[in-house]
Amino acid sequence: MHRAATPRRDDLVALTQAWVRIPTLNPPGRNYRGICEFLATRPAAKGFGVEMIRAAGAPADSDAHPRWNLIARHEGAEPGECVHFNGHHDVVEVGYGWSVDPFGGEVRDGRVYGRGACDMKGGIAAAVIAAEAFVETCPDYRGAVEISATADEESGGYGGVAWLAERGWFDPDRVQHVIIPEPLNKDRICLGHRGVWWAEIETQGRIAHGSMPFPGDCAVRHMGAVIAEMEETLFPLLAGRQTAMPVVPEGARSSTLNINAIHGGEPEQEPGYTGLPAPCVPDRCRIVIDRRVLIEEDIAEVAKLMERVKARRPGFAYEIRKLFEVVPTMAPRDAPVVTTVAQAITHVLGRAPDFVVSPGTYDQKHIDRIGRLKNCIAYGPGILDLAHQPDEWASIDDMLDSARVMARVLGMLLLR
Q: 104-114, pLDDT tens digit by residue?
A: 999 999 999 99
Residues β-bridged to residue 263: 286
pLDDT digits (tens, 9 = 90+) for 290-308: 999 999 997 789 999 999 9
Give the H/E segment covering residue 148: strand 142-150
List, as one string, the DSSP characters of 214-268: TTSB-HHHHHHHHHHHIIIIIHHHHHT---SS-BSSGGGGS-EEEEEEEEESSPP
Per-residue pLDDT at 51 exceeds 80: yes
Per-residue pLDDT at 187 exceeds 90: yes
Average pLDDT estimate for 257-269: 94
Could you tell me the sign of the dihedral formed by the alpha carbons of 278, 280, 283, 284, in that order?
positive
Average pLDDT estimate for 131-146: 97
pLDDT confidence of residue 416: 74
Calculate the alpha carbon distances from 271 to 90, 94, 95, 262, 277 in Å: 29, 21, 19, 19, 14
CA distance 379 to 114: 21
Evaluate whether 254 touches 316 at the Cβ level (below 8 Å): no
Per-residue pLDDT at 56 exceeds 90: yes
**Strand order through the sheet with 393-395:** 107-108, 111-113, 393-395
Question: Taking the model in full, what pTM does it have?
Answer: 0.91
Greatest pairwise CA separation for the chain in angstroms: 83
pLDDT confidence of residue 1: 59
pLDDT digits (tens, 9 = 90+) for 222-255: 999 999 999 999 999 999 999 999 999 999 999 9
Per-residue pLDDT at 55 exceeds 70: yes
Residue type, 105: G
Give phi and psi for 307, each to the nearest 5.
-70, -35
pLDDT digits (tens, 9 = 90+) for 343-397: 999 999 999 999 999 999 999 999 999 999 999 999 999 998 999 999 999 999 9
Return all residues near 147 (Cβ < 8 A) that are at least 6 apart: 43, 48, 71, 72, 84, 85, 86, 87, 124, 127, 128, 131
Give the residue ranges of DSSP H helices in 28-160.
32-45, 122-137
CA distance 389 to 58: 28
CA distance 365 to 358: 12
In eight-state DSSP terms, residue 328 is -
Residue type, 73: R
Calculate the alpha carbon distances from 192 to 226, 290, 410, 411 in Å: 32, 19, 21, 24
Average pLDDT estimate for 57-84: 98
In eight-state DSSP terms, residue 269 is P
pLDDT confidence of residue 169: 98
Average pLDDT estimate for 308-335: 95
Per-residue pLDDT at 337 exceeds 80: yes
pLDDT confidence of residue 300: 85
How crowded is residue 110: how many other Cβ atoms within 10 Å of its Cβ? 11
Average pLDDT estimate for 153-173: 97
How crowded is residue 71: how many other Cβ atoms within 10 Å of its Cβ? 22
CA distance 72 to 132: 12
**Strand order through the sheet with 256-264:** 256-264, 284-293, 195-204, 317-326
In eight-state DSSP terms, residue 206 is B
CA distance 352 to 339: 11
List, as one string, the DSSP characters of 69-96: EEEEEEE-SEEEEEEEEEEE--B----S
Per-residue pLDDT at 264 exceeds 70: yes
Could you tell me the sign of the dihedral formed by the alpha carbons of 285, 288, 294, 299, in that order?
positive
pLDDT confidence of residue 2: 67
Name the nearest CA neighbour of 371 among 411, 413, 331.
Answer: 331
pLDDT confidence of residue 117: 98
Q: What HEC string does 370-416 produce? A: CCCCCCEEEEECCCHHHCCCCCCEEEHHHHHHHHHHHHHHHHHHHCC
